């Protein structure tokens, strides 16, 4: 009899693996948003009996947002949806066994002889207190090797957080059922590789979608769709940082869209493994026009003791004419340039936000070694209680063998909300806004240009 029970169990334990080998997932479709959010649609074939039944769903994301679960199957209504996250562990098992009877097997360390007894768990506080017959003992108080065998596991203790749905079906039979939920732990961004040819004024750009899966779950053979947008989550929309758009575009990209978000479907089904970073190409443009510019921005009354490098800015467009000709999802642009031996070398990177087609972009790729600006407040004079005169001088130097033009920006003209007047300036400035002006300073090769300006302010 005992042997039968044994073999039966061996069969049972060994047969189950073959079944649970599959992840339990059905036909998977994943829609991934930028802000660490994904919508998973999992269509499984379920055998739903007539009447009430409970279905559990293994293979859902480890970071499922249980409150967003939707379930849909023909001729079936949902009674309730449960998300059990009381996890099975040795401690929980012992805790739940209080009042129950367990088997303990004591092994004599000298002889290996086993003594088997039934014991009632009285408490599991700090240590485990047992009642064996009429004796009260603390488990392994004598440090003797002792096996503890529990007859059963409480049904609500799970190996992993488990989603279950109680259904009421009007008929029995196998039918497709769609499970959909939101999960965190998956997100994507774009990574661009830009190879800039300064002499030709052109660049080649490849765009890659980079998606990451840290949900703890592998999604097998999933139909994948990427949404370039950050929908509000819990009523909170994330506001991005710098987007480096100089002028937002007004062109529509030839891509499918969802509301205001562009969609980037992956061409083929793919397996998104857990802990995987996956990149798929979405953009490949050669010979797009691009040029380099120098910019230096000085804060109000900023003086520098040592000349500071001007920023090198890469300017290009996402326009159809003379640009990349696509809407650009947010991400990092890494810029490369060929060195004297023809090998591409990294010259800097920057981020872009979601960029509409037709936009003009200006990415600061780094600081120029040879182009520097030394701003100095040469004079501050009080003319009256509400009138000050500030004289600024900016020494722009160029150690390159070619002439350059530097956009020299003086910021902070709205200093203390005062109106600032330019009394005199050595070259004509252009007003960018009430707060800043820009001088386009031509600097000869291996030379210098000094810009001076006198401002009148209230303070």
Partner 1 sequence: MMRRALFAFLLFVGWAGIAAPAFAQTSEWARQTVTSEAPSAVSVTVYRDPNRQADNGMNLRYLGGYALITEQRTITLPAGEIDLRFEGVAGGIIPQSAIVTGMPSAVIEKNRDAALLSPSALLNGHLGRGVTIRRTSGATGKITQFNAQIRTDASGGVVIQTAEGFEALQCTGLNETLIYPSIPKGLSDKPTLSIKSRVSEPTRATVTLSYLATGFDWQANYVADVSADGKSLNLFSWVTLANGDETSFANAQTQTVAGQPNKQRDNIAPATGGAIALRCWPQATTSDIEIRRRAALGDLSSWRTEDQDVITVTAKRMSGALMEMAAPVSIVQAKQEELGDLKLYRIPLPVTVASQSQKQVAMFEKTAIPFIQIYEGEIGASRYAEATPFSTTLRFQNKKRDGLGLAMPAGKMVAFRNVSGERLLLGEGSLEDKAIGEEVEVTIGQSPLVRYSLTSLGQVETKKRRTMDMRLTVTNASPHSAQVEFRLPSGDNETLSKPSSKLGRKDGADFWTVTVPANSERILTYDLIRRL
Binding to partner 1, residues 216-275 (CB under 8 A): 218, 268, 270, 273-275
Question: By C-beta, is 196 or 262 nearer to partner 1?
Answer: 196
Does residue 377 bind partner 1 (CB under 8 A)? yes
Tell which residue, 186, 193, 164, has the closest CA to residue 81: 164
Contact 179, 60 (CB under 8 A): yes
The DSSP secondary-structure symbol of 275 reads T
Does residue 445 bind partner 1 (CB under 8 A)? no
Question: By C-beta, is 10 or 79 nearer to partner 1?
Answer: 10
Q: Are strands 436-443 and 430-433 parallel, antiparallel or unpaired?
A: antiparallel
State the minimum distance, in angstroms, from the CB of residue 176 to partner 1: 22
Question: By C-beta, is 23 or 257 nearer to partner 1?
Answer: 23
Which of these segments, 46-54, 122-130, 255-263, 410-418, binds partner 1 (CB under 8 A)?
Answer: 122-130
Contact 299, 411 (CB under 8 A): yes
Identify the residue among 35, 180, 332, 418 touching partner 1 (CB under 8 A).
332
Question: By C-beta, is 268 or 433 nearer to partner 1?
Answer: 268
State the minimum distance, in angstroms, from the CB of residue 421 to partner 1: 18
Q: Is 154 exposed, middle or buried (0-12, 13-18, 19+ CB in 10 A)?
A: middle
Does residue 403 bind partner 1 (CB under 8 A)? no
Does residue 125 bind partner 1 (CB under 8 A)? yes
**What ranges make up the beta strands (E) of 185-330?**
186-197, 202-213, 219-228, 245-247, 257-258, 261-265, 270-272, 276-298, 308-317
Question: By C-beta, is 313 or 357 nearer to partner 1?
Answer: 313
State the minimum distance, in angstroms, from the CB of residue 163 to partner 1: 16
Which of these segments, 68-76, 125-133, 228-236, 247-255, binds partner 1 (CB under 8 A)?
Answer: 125-133
Q: 419: which 2 tokens?
A: 């109106």
Contact 318, 326 (CB under 8 A): yes
Strand partners, 108: none
Which of these segments, 67-75, 104-112, 247-255, 353-361, binds partner 1 (CB under 8 A)?
Answer: 104-112
Does residue 60 bind partner 1 (CB under 8 A)? no
Does residue 362 bind partner 1 (CB under 8 A)? no
Q: Looking only at residues 150 through 209 of this chain, which bind partner 1 when binding is defined by CB under 8 A?
A: 150-153, 159-160, 191, 193, 196, 198, 206, 208
Contact 108, 96 (CB under 8 A): no
State the minimum distance, in angstroms, from the CB of residue 296 to partner 1: 13
Does residue 457 bind partner 1 (CB under 8 A)? no
**How many residues touch partner 1 (CB under 8 A)?**
116
State the minimum distance, in angstroms, from the CB of residue 151 to partner 1: 5
Contact 228, 318 (CB under 8 A): no
Does residue 18 bind partner 1 (CB under 8 A)? yes
State the minimum distance, in angstroms, from the CB of residue 457 to partner 1: 11
Please, which residues have CB within 8 angstroms of residue 279's CB and are 6 or more apart in sequence?
191, 208, 209, 210, 211
State the minimum distance, in angstroms, from the CB of residue 448 to partner 1: 8
Does residue 78 bind partner 1 (CB under 8 A)? no
Which of these segments, 250-258, 320-328, 335-343, 435-443, binds partner 1 (CB under 8 A)?
Answer: 335-343
Cβ count within 10 A of residue 434: 11
List C-alpha distances in Å: 279 to 216, 267, 410. 19, 13, 41
Does residue 122 bind partner 1 (CB under 8 A)? no
CA-to-CA distance for 160 and 374, rounded, in angstroms? 62
Q: Is 82 exposed, middle or buried (0-12, 13-18, 19+ CB in 10 A)?
A: middle
Does residue 281 bind partner 1 (CB under 8 A)? yes
Question: By C-beta, is 99 or 126 nearer to partner 1?
Answer: 126
Q: Note the maximum CA span of the chain.
A: 110
């Amino acid at each position: 009899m005992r042997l039968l029970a044994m073999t039966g169990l061996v069969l049972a334990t060994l047969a189950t693996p073959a079944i649970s080998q599959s992840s339990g997932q059905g036909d998977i479709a994943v829609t991934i948003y930028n802000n660490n959010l994904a919508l998973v649609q999992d269509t499984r074939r379920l055998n739903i009996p007539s009447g009430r039944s409970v279905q559990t769903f293994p293979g859902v994301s480890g970071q499922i947002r249980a409150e967003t679960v939707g379930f849909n199957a023909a001729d079936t209504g949902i009674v309730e949806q449960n998300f059990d996250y009381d996890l099975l562990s040795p401690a929980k098992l012992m805790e739940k066994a209080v009042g129950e009877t367990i088997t303990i097997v004591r092994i004599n360390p000298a002889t290996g002889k086993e003594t088997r007894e039934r014991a009632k768990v009285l408490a599991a506080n700090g240590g485990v207190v047992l009642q064996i017959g009429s004796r009260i003992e603390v488990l392994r108080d004598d440090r003797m090797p002792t096996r503890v065998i529990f007859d059963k596991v409480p049904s609500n203790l799970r190996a992993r957080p488990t989603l279950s749905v109680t259904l009421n079906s009007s008929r029995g039979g196998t039918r497709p059922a769609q499970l959909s939920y939101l999960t965190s732990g998956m997100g994507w961004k774009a990574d661009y590789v830009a190879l800039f040819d300064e002499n030709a004024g052109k660049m080649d750009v490849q765009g890659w979608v980079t998606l990451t899966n840290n949900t703890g779950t592998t999604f097998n053979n999933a139909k994948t769709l990427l949404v370039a947008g950050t929908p509000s989550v819990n009523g909170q929309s994330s506001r991005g940082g710098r987007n480096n758009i100089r002028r937002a575009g007004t062109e529509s990209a030839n891509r499918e869209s969802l509301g205001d978000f562009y969609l980037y479907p992956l061409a083929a089904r793919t397996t998104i493994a857990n802990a995987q970073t996956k990149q798929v190409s979405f953009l490949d443009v050669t010979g797009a026009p691009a040029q380099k510019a120098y910019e230096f921005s000085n804060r109000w009354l900023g003086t520098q003791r040592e000349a500071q490098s001007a920023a090198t800015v890469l300017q290009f467009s996402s326009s159809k004419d003379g640009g990349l000709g696509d809407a650009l999802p947010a991400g990092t642009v890494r810029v490369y340039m060929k060195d004297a031996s023809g090998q591409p070398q990294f010259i800097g990177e920057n981020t872009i936000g979601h960029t509409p087609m037709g936009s003009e972009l200006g990415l600061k790729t780094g600081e120029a070694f040879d182009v520097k600006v030394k701003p100095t407040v040469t004079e501050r004079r009080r003319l009256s209680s509400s009138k000050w005169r500030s004289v600024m001088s900016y020494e722009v130097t160029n150690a390159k063998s070619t002439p350059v033009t530097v956009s020299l920006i003086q910021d902070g003209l709205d200093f203390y909300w005062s109106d600032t007047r330019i009394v005199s300036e050595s070259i004509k400035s252009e007003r960018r806004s009430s707060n800043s002006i820009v001088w386009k300073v031509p600097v000869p090769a291996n030379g210098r240009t000094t810009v001076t300006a006198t401002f009148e302010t209230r303070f």
